[in-house]
Structure 1
């Protein structure tokens, strides 16, 4: 819970006391290795914080699986379109290892707005942060070479290369596993 409180405080620039109020609404959840947090077509009914472990967000197309994100400790987890707009999920979210979460149900999420006056401002910051991450990712795909995308990802998440199957990282970076292997060999 301390890790979640700290994340709220830092990410949303609020006091430790305010962060504790928000964190107290989350419940612990254990996601066993290979268990699904969410499957395509379901409605996402939870918003979680990853305390430990790894998860993969991916979709299956007719031709292949596409990895959108690999989440680890210190990150929030949900299918934001499904959670916020109550749409069927496009993404599968599956644990790559035993994963410990702090989870807020959709019903409790709706109560935040009523019970916690600062929630609207925090929600706005969270969505803006998500948008910023998405913009950076789009920029990387448009402006950087495969080698530069690899170098940037490796600099940010070096531990993933020992814990995540390389074909998932290759997919996340928009390259084939063979291209990733060639880049790593250099």
Structure 2
């Protein structure tokens, strides 16, 4: 669990041993097998997790076509925001791409943690702000960068995923067709 404590401090800044132990006591280890679901569209997500190992894919169906919104790997926090924070039906499916190990907190325990550990509200605020910045960066990239630039930025940040998940999922995350991604990858390989 030292890895878990290290992750907490990297996400939320300095926490003392007593605070880390308290937070950790609310989480449990969970395993998902390949292709099983963390949560599904139209359900209400009742947990928040940190990925210890493995890959989760966040996607939805639109007119019979899968749209991959994000691919999350080790050390990412994971939940479906509408379900977990607003008790509304999920917009996204979250599925294990391979076997996944998680540290998970149930919604009921999350609410207890907020009550029992008031500092958690500040921690949660930091997390939300980090998520907001990440979303802003993605929107900015889609509005202002070329497909080539989006590819290069994503590849720099997530190069290991390119050998682990189908390229059509990465193309979807980047907002481009698989053919465009293939053409960009070929050009990138020739110029590197």
Using the size of structure 1 for normalisation, the TM-score is 0.97
Aligned length: 186
RMSD, aligned α-carbons: 1.0
| Deviation of the 1:84 alpha carbon | 0.3
- 1:158 aligns to 2:159 (yes or no): yes
Does 1:5 pair with 2:1?
A: no
Instruction: State the match for 2:135 in structure 1.
Output: 134
Q: 1:16 to 1:99 in 2, by over 3 A?
A: farther
The equivalent residue for 2:185 is 184
1: CA distance, partners of 2:159 / 2:16: 30
Aligned pairs for 1:49-60 within 5 A: 49-60=50-61
**C-alpha deviation, 1:46, in angstroms:** 0.3
1:6/1:16 contact within 8 Å kept: no
TM-score (normalizing by structure 2) = 0.94
Show structure 2 runs of 5+ residues with no match.
188-192
**2:83 matched residue in structure 1:** 82
The whole-number CA distance in structure 2 between the counterparts of 1:182 and 1:114 is: 52
Poorly superposed stretches of 4+, deviation over 3 Å: none
Name the SS for the 2:103 alignment partner. strand
Q: Tell me, what secondary structure is at the counterpart of 2:90? A: coil
Query: Any residues of structure 2 matched to 1:96-107 within 5 Å, and which?
Result: 96-107=97-108
